[in-house]
Copies of this chain bind each other. A is one copy, B any other.
């Protein structure tokens, strides 16, 4: 397995999962080879861009035949880190937090949610699917027995910053922020925002503009 420790450009990291999803479909159809022209036509991405993105992988395509589908699937999934388990905690066992704990699909992409944290004593001590919910005060203890590197923020917006600070203080190194609050973190901490609300705002705006 190739462990990649290049910092890849964000647009490349956005496109590589598209290629993976597409070649996985070809694999399921027992198709053996795919050219960048074919991927280009299917996904509306410039063929030279695809060749450039795939050049980050050690894999080489063959002239006139293209890439071997099986090898491309493995190589992309490995390269993107989807085949290694990455341990994560969920902060906030409310409706979205619980939903993510129950989404077994994330495990297929290397995300292993091992614990949830909340401050609500009615939630603490319960299980959501197979994820135990602890009080946030137990974070240091859980971090010792079952450490994680990724903290998924699904708390209310008004405790997003405090929760991130606590999590980072106990050793969390990446924050995946699902709250609409813009959390600030120190340099060296990985930050990724999934702005569900911004996507909704975009959809509503574009729909309205059409009327």
Cα-based distance from A7 to B206 in the complex (angstroms): 6
Whether B111 contacts A200 by the Cβ 8 Å rule is yes
Which of A22-30, A58-66, A131-139, A163-171 binds B?
A22-30
CB pair A5 B209 closer than 8 Å? yes
Which single residue of chain B is at the shortest CB-CB distance from A80?
B201
Does A82 make an interface contact (CB < 8 A)?
A: yes
Interface size class of A (residues with CB under 8 A): 35 or more
Complex Cα spacing A98 to B98, Å: 11
Which one of B43, B110, B179, B199 contacts A204 once the chains associate, using CB atoms below 8 Å?
A: B110
Q: Which residues of B are found within 8 Å of A52, using beta-carbon distances?
A: none
Q: Are A192 and B182 in contact (CB under 8 A)?
A: no
Partner of A95, one of B4, B20, B103: B103
- Cα separation A209 to B10 with both chains bound (whole Å): 14
* A43 to B182 CA separation, bound complex (whole angstroms): 6
Also in contact, A80 and B204, with CB within 8 A (given A21-B157, A99-B99, A199-B194): yes
Question: Is there an interface contact between B202 and A192, defined as CB atoms closer than 8 Å?
Answer: yes
Chain B residue contacts of A194, Cβ below 8 A: 194, 196, 199
- Which residue of B is nearest A84, CB measured? B204
The answer on a CB contact under 8 Å between B192 and A176 is no
Task: Provide a sorted-by-A list of 19 A–B residue pairs whose CB atoms are within 8 angstroms.
Answer: A6-B205, A8-B205, A13-B201, A18-B181, A22-B181, A80-B200, A80-B201, A81-B201, A82-B204, A86-B207, A98-B102, A99-B100, A106-B200, A109-B197, A109-B200, A173-B207, A190-B206, A190-B210, A192-B203
